[in-house]
Amino acid sequence: MNSPARFSITTPLYYVNGLPHIGSAYTTMAADAIARFHRLRGEEVLLITGTDEHGQKIQRTAEEAGVEPQTHCDQIIGSFKDLWDKYNIQYDRFSRTTASNHAKIVEEFFSKVWDKGDIYLDQQQGWYCVACEEFKEEKDLIEDHHCAIHTNKKAEWRDEQNYFFRLSKYQDQLEALYESNPDFIQPASRRNEVLNFIKQGLKDFSISRVNLDWGFPVPIDADHTIYVWFDALLGYVTALLEENDEVTLEQAITKFWPINLHLIGKDILRFHAVYWPAMLMSGDLPLPGRVFGHGFLTKDGLKMGKSLGNTIDPFELVDKYGSDALRYYFLKEVELGKDGDFNEIRFINTVNADLANDLGNLLNRKLGMLKKYCKSVVPQQNLGDIADDHPLKALGKDLGDRVNTYYTELHLSKACTDVLALIQACNKYIDDSAPWKLFKQGEQAQVEEVLFSVMESVRLAGYLLSPIIPNLSNEIYRQLGFEGDFNDLPTLAKKYPFTSHSQWGLTWSERTLSKAKPIFARLELPEEAD
């Protein structure tokens, strides 16, 4: 028997200078949906998330709060785990860069790169943004040497000795990588950013800091602390270790390495698409499959920020509206890779129209007709005998294959849109077929064909949307008489294989269905919007 395929995916290791924000939640929702899709296909999946806990920004934040850096990190970690639970995120590993096993991995990797001759000591001069944890060139700064990203933060002038990584040595190898594997960086707009960056010529970057206690000491020089990004990127490797594994690089990469997909925000693209592969080349480790940099979120068309008072509290949002509604909106309405906007009124109208009206009402309506015209007994039909131009069969017969491609290529929005098109076609098909008239005319066989073809379409929609809205998919499958839990995909994928359940025209066993129950309660508009 062949072993299942393996798929590994990471979110960024989120920086813990503050509580998680809606951008972090968006990335993690998308990663979770992608991981769920691969589990649905019966693959062995590893979803890694976690936290980046070192660096000067953390040290200063802790000092301002009057606590030790480790205490600060420990306090923030719980908020990330709580939020992922609320958004129904099924991560497999939570990587912390303060973990003792991570220290050993960083030390071993540093030693490999040192032995390769790719690390040297030199003088570093320049403007440093503590919020970015990065040296900035003059062109990247705005008025009065403020950071272009953190506009309320003035960069600090640094003149100090640092250890440097020979990034310039890997210019040709990186260019060859991007040329031979054009999908390594996605989407195309991110790839172009990287290509434009490296055309300017790569410069070596400093991988240590002085006068900083919060981090790992450089193995060869305790007066220096390893730069936070050189440390944090290796957290993806550390996360691969099982609890009782020997803590070595060789052991860590035995099963799920290389990572298939790093899903990140576009603001940290350079670290993942340039620095990281060069580091791995130096350490003689295989490269990841893809780096995908998604866009930013705005609110009501404006960039979010504390100064504007328009930030979104992801805890408050999910407590108010539930995880499935938010997962659906962000993954359908925001095309992964592009910037997207959250507007509460548009959000409510979208999920009410799609989930309450089109999907929820269709299920209720159909089960009501089944009770009235078939005494709630599922008709025994062979949908393969239906003509290919049947409106639902025509839409449904290749839907599973298309959606499979969409998920694989990270087009989550297209997956949602195409599935919803089948649901909307069902509502039109019922109105056009008028089964109530057919029933009065004694056309029972036609009534049953109408009802069963709609039921099969709703089942298929629930199955294909399960990576996005797993709780609603559970309700759909249960009301259609299927047992199983889309939050337990390793079990469900064996019971309901992707090869059959992702296709329109499934053969159903005989069953009598229970009374319909609403699967999605309509959301209420805010009072001020009335």
Kindly report, residue by residue over 374-395, the tens digit of the pLDDT.
Answer: 999 999 888 888 999 999 999 9
Q: What is the mean pLDDT of the chain?
A: 93
Whether 7 contacts 43, CB under 8 Å: yes
- What's the confidence (pLDDT) of residue 211? 83
Q: How confident is the model at residue 353 (pLDDT cuts 50, 70, 90)?
A: very high
Could you tell me where the DSSP H helices lie in 22-143?
22-40, 56-65, 69-86, 100-115
Tokens (6 digits) for 191:
């790839």
The answer, yes or no, to whether residue 105 has pLDDT greater than 60, is yes
- pLDDT over 60 (residue 1): no
Q: d(Cα 152, Cα 148) in Å, to the nearest integer? A: 9
Residue 529 has pLDDT above 60, yes or no: no
What is the distance between the alpha carbons of residues 287 and 352, in angstroms, rounded to a whole number?
A: 43
Gap between the Cα atoms of 206 and 458, Å rounded: 56
Q: Among 428-437, 447-456, 513-522, whose mean pLDDT is lowest?
A: 513-522
Angle, vertex CA 268, rays to CA 191 and CA 237, nearest 5: 100
Residue 502 near residue 461 (C-beta atoms within 8 A): no
Nearest to 518 by CA among 483, 486, 472, 485: 472
Segment 457-462 shows an average pLDDT of 98
Q: What is the DSSP string of 222-257?
A: EEEEE-HHHHHTTHHHHTT--TTS--SHHHHTSSSP
For position 156, what pLDDT does the model report?
A: 79
Residue 496 CB-half CA count within 13 A: 24
**Joined tokens for residue 177:** 């990588």
Q: Are 268 and 310 in contact (CB under 8 A)?
A: no
Give the mean model confidence (pLDDT) for residues 48-58: 93
For the stretch 208-220, pLDDT in tens is 998 888 999 999 9
Are the beta carbons of 29 and 92 closer than 8 angstroms?
A: no
pLDDT at residue 123 in the model: 84
Tens digit of pLDDT for each residue in 3-46?
A: 679 999 999 999 998 899 999 999 999 999 999 999 999 999 99
Give the per-residue pLDDT at 2. 62
Q: Which residues pair with 164 in a beta bridge?
A: 120, 206
What domains appear along the chain, each with residue ranges and CATH number?
Answer: 345-501 (1.10.730.10)
pLDDT at 82: 97
Condensed to tens digits (0 to 9), the pLDDT of residues 135-171 reads: 777 777 777 667 776 666 777 777 788 999 999 999 9
Q: Is the pTM of this model over 0.85?
A: yes
For residue 530, is pLDDT > 50? Answer: no
Q: What is the mean pLDDT of residues 114-135?
A: 83
Which residues pair with residue 218 across a beta bridge? 221
- Residue 525, pLDDT above cutoff 90: no
Q: Are 177 and 287 in contact (CB under 8 A)?
A: yes
Q: What is the pLDDT of residue 74?
A: 95
**pLDDT tens track for 390-420:** 999 999 999 999 999 999 999 999 999 999 9
For residue 55, give the nearest of 187, 221, 216 by alpha carbon. Answer: 216
Amino acid 15 reads: Y
Is residue 477 over pLDDT 50?
yes
306 pLDDT tier (thresholds 50, 70, 90): low
The answer for 370, left when phi > 0, alpha when psi is -120 to 50, beta otherwise, is alpha
CB 52 within 8 A of CB 97: yes
Per-residue pLDDT tens digits for 197-256: 999 999 999 999 988 889 999 999 999 999 999 999 999 999 999 999 999 999 999 999
Look-up of token digits 């550390």: 238
Task: Report DSSP state, residue 512.
Answer: B
Distance of CA 190 to the CA centre of its chain: 17
Give me the percent of the chain exceeding a pLDDT of 70. Answer: 96
Alpha-carbon gap, residue 38 to 124, rounded angstroms = 45
Please write the tens of the pLDDT for every residue from 429-451.
999 999 999 999 999 999 999 99
Q: How far is CA 35 from the centre of its chain?
A: 8
Angle at the Cα of 365 from the Cα atoms of 363 and 367, rounded to 5 degrees: 65
The answer to whether the Cα torsion of 190, 196, 198, 203 is positive or negative is negative
CB 502 within 8 A of CB 492: no
- Position 18 scores a pLDDT of 86
Of 388, 367, 384, the C-alpha closest to 376 is 367
- DSSP state for residue 1 in the 8-state scheme: -
Residue 151: the pLDDT is 67
Q: How far is CA 218 from the centre of its chain?
A: 33
Output the six-digit token pair for 156: 């600090």
- In the DSSP assignment, the letter for residue 312 is -
What six digits make up the tokens of 150? 């953190």
Share of the chain above pLDDT 90, in %: 83
User: Within 10 Å of residue 200's Cβ, how many Cβ atoms?
Assistant: 8
